[in-house]
A = this chain, B = another copy of it.
Amino acid sequence: MSAVPSLRHLLLLRPRLRFIALSTSSSPFLSYAPSHHFSPSSLRVLSSSSSPTLTQEEADEAVGKGSSLIDVNPPRGTRDFPPDDMRLRNWLFQNFREVSRILSFEEVDFPVLESEALFIRKAGEEITQQLYNFEDKGGRRVVLRPEITPSLARLVIKQGKSVSLPLKWFTIGQCWRYERMTRGRRREHYQWNMDIFGVSKVRGEAELIQAIVLLFERLGINSSDVGIRVSSRKVLQAVLQMYAIPDNLFTQVCVIVDKLGKITREEIEKELLSLGVSIQAVNGIIEVLSLKSLSKLEEVLGSEEEAVSELKKLFSLAESYGYADWICFDASVVRGLAYYTGIVFEAFDREGKLRAICGGGRYDRLLSTFGSEDIPACGFGFGDAVIVELLKDKGLLPDLAHRVDDIVFPLDEVLDGTASRIASSLRKKGRSVDLVEDKRLKWVFKHAERIGASRLILVGNSEWERGAVRVKNLSTREEFEVKIDELV
């Protein structure tokens, strides 16, 4: 608890601090978590959590006996947000919020800690196998939520008849997964969710996709950078019916075939066969999933099939909205969540370098799995990771430096009251004011540049005797003497 650190402490500690400062200079935003609900290859991190940490022994040695240096990193797989990263996050979230407002969605939120029961599903999804779960002191099973949709559904059930349908809600929140850490993975990300309850038509999906496209456009991304692949779980459902595979296998089949491209075809076959799906059906499923054209799908399934008519309707609406060039049919899109029942979609970079940017779909039967009446619903999740990687690749990251209006600097200690008065009066007008003391003028000028200050207000004795201050406009380099009561 000594306030005066030993010289040895200072000397030994400094290299450590410098190293950490360097290792955090690459933004955690650029090495990020995934899109809609975590995908297996996601959560790569290059920065914070991989910065080497002193062993306890080394730390003890470095700081001498008595007080050892704590681990200055956040828990493994999590991020701090220093000012630069926070500005980027706020900017991104602000765009999420603005698009949600334009689509007339209302914001909601839920506890990051939820009951585990809300996330226990038996379909074998990765998301439920990597729950960040605990037992609390009261013996309750709780979990840092891996996704937000179940909380949303819970609140819809809780609100019951008091809400009028359709209900259009969005939320931005942190989601967690627990998996064995290999180097460069992350355990948390933030996710923007937009969900519609009470719209059974594909209008719901069409609105969600417009929101995603509007977001991309606001960020400066165009349809030659990014596309949105669309399919429907009803395609798979129709194929299962063709092969007389029982309905109760549907969800598990979806979860398995979602892994196509992530694990080998042989492994997929093996998993499907072990469910009791015949080899003919397996081949049929994989063949249909390779279709990239809606007219081909119509040939295979027939135009009467719901999967086909809904997809055609969505593509027709896309023409009306004006985002047809952003979307394409791709039967291989299944998405990894158990509860999707209809149209599913995901945004991808056309260069194919990144993981899915976001994903979503229709989940008309989620509420009944919670014991309530079903309400038709659809939604998407849009992570804060891949989008930032993409923006960086495209050179679209905004310049978000700290911006301050005025620096007030008393040139003499006896003027600290006067400086307070001036700062206070400017602040009451809404200007952002940094009051600086006990520094050299040279430092103040450097500081002004660093924080992007517009004006420097120097409070000096001789000017003050005339009831004035010196004001330096930092962009024009002009300098004036201004009477206190004329300062605005």
* A residues adjacent to B (C-beta < 8 A): 1-3, 5, 9-10, 13-14, 16-18, 20-22, 24-25, 59, 63, 67-76, 78-83, 86-87, 89-90, 101-104, 106-115, 117-118, 132, 134-138, 140, 142, 144, 151, 154-155, 157-162, 164, 168-169, 174, 176, 178, 180-181, 188, 199, 201, 203, 206-207, 210, 214, 248, 316-317, 319-323, 364-365, 368-374, 402, 404, 416-418, 420-421, 423-424, 427-428, 430-435, 437-438, 447, 450-451
CB distance from A474 to the nearest CB of B (A): 14
Smallest CB-CB A-B distances: 5 pairs: A17-B160, A21-B162, A69-B371, A320-B420, A320-B417
Nearest-neighbor residue (CB-CB) of A157 within chain B? B72
Give which listed residue, B72, B78, B159, B434, contacts A111 with CB less than 8 A: B78
Are the C-beta atoms of A109 and B81 separated by less than 8 Å?
Answer: yes
Are the C-beta atoms of B368 and A158 separated by less than 8 Å?
Answer: no
CB distance from A288 to the nearest CB of B (A): 23
Are the C-beta atoms of B142 and A75 separated by less than 8 Å?
Answer: yes
Chain B residues within 8 Å of A416, by CB: 203, 317, 320
Chain B residues within 8 Å of A432, by CB: 101-104
Could you pull out 14 A-B pairs where Cβ atoms are within 8 angstroms?
Answer: A1-B368, A10-B373, A13-B372, A17-B158, A81-B108, A83-B108, A87-B106, A102-B427, A102-B430, A106-B402, A113-B188, A136-B178, A321-B421, A321-B423
Are the C-beta atoms of A67 and B137 separated by less than 8 Å?
Answer: no
Are the C-beta atoms of B113 and A89 separated by less than 8 Å?
Answer: no
Chain B residues within 8 Å of A210, by CB: 424, 427
> In the complex, A79 Cα to B181 Cα: how many Å?
31
Are the C-beta atoms of A24 and B158 separated by less than 8 Å?
Answer: yes
Known pairs A74-B154, A164-B450 / 8 extra A-B pairs, C-beta < 8 Å: A24-B159, A25-B162, A69-B372, A74-B110, A79-B111, A102-B430, A104-B433, A323-B424
CB distance from A281 to the nearest CB of B (A): 21
Chain B residues within 8 Å of A368, by CB: 1-3, 5, 67
> In the complex, A357 Cα to B35 Cα: how many Å?
39
Nearest-neighbor residue (CB-CB) of A217 within chain B? B428
With A10-B373, A159-B24, A421-B322 in contact, do A86 and B70 touch (Cβ < 8 Å)?
no
CB distance from A396 to the nearest CB of B (A): 19
CB distance from A199 to the nearest CB of B (A): 8
Nearest-neighbor residue (CB-CB) of A207 within chain B? B435
Are the C-beta atoms of B70 and A118 separated by less than 8 Å?
Answer: yes
Chain B residues within 8 Å of A181, by CB: 138
Q: Determine which residue in A10, A101, A210, A368 has the highest number of CB atoms from chain B within 10 A of its CB, and name it.
A: A368
Give which listed residue, B144, B371, B435, contacts A70 with CB less than 8 A: B371
Are the C-beta atoms of B420 and A144 separated by less than 8 Å?
Answer: no
CB distance from A437 to the nearest CB of B (A): 6
Are the C-beta atoms of B102 and A86 separated by less than 8 Å?
Answer: no
CB distance from A429 to the nearest CB of B (A): 9
CB distance from A406 to the nearest CB of B (A): 9
Give which listed residue, B73, B161, B319, B320, contacts A21 with CB less than 8 A: B161
> In the complex, A75 Cα to B90 Cα: how many Å?
28
With A3-B364, A368-B1 in contact, do A112 and B111 touch (Cβ < 8 Å)?
no
> In the complex, A450 Cα to B54 Cα: how many Å?
58
Give which listed residue, B59, B161, B206, B371, contacts A59 with CB less than 8 A: B371
Chain B residues within 8 Å of A164, by CB: 447, 450
Are the C-beta atoms of B106 and A73 separated by less than 8 Å?
Answer: no
Chain B residues within 8 Å of A374, by CB: 3, 5
Nearest-neighbor residue (CB-CB) of A51 within chain B? B158
With A71-B117, A369-B67 in contact, do A424 and B321 touch (Cβ < 8 Å)?
yes
CB distance from A200 to the nearest CB of B (A): 9
CB distance from A99 to the nearest CB of B (A): 9
Are the C-beta atoms of A373 and B5 separated by less than 8 Å?
Answer: yes
With A319-B417, A364-B3, A421-B321 in contact, do A113 and B78 touch (Cβ < 8 Å)?
yes
Give which listed residue, B71, B83, B111, contacts A74 with CB less than 8 A: B111
